[in-house]
Amino acid sequence: MSAVFLWQADGPEQGARGVSGDEREARRAAAELLRSGQASSALVEEAATELGMRTLTDGYYPTGPRWRARVGAAGRIRWVPVKADTAAS
């Protein structure tokens, strides 16, 4: 099992998501979409990759902290910790 960071940026017309081995890179990727106006919110969360032994498929499973970002005053992006049960909202 290895740690990765999942990022997701949601916008009015489309969204984007990705996987990074580095938290800073995940935040940077999501922040680019926020700054460009293509997204209005973003979420980064720590996850683990696991290989399913019965089906030999892999997947990502949230394992750690999550942060949500929005663009604030003067275009500044603010990352705020999110509780696990509210990350989907």
What is the predicted pLDDT for the residue at 61?
84
pLDDT greater than 70 at residue 12: yes
What is the predicted pLDDT for the residue at 45?
96
The arithmetic mean of pLDDT across residues 34-60, rounded, is 82
- Quick check: helix, strand or coil at residue 57? coil
The residue ranking higher by pLDDT, 11 or 56, is 11
pLDDT greater than 50 at residue 89: no
Q: Which residue has the tokens 């949500």?
A: 68
The answer for residues whose C-beta is within 8 angstroms of residue 20's C-beta and 6 or more apart is 4, 5, 7, 26, 29
Global pTM reads 0.80
What is the predicted pLDDT for the residue at 84?
66
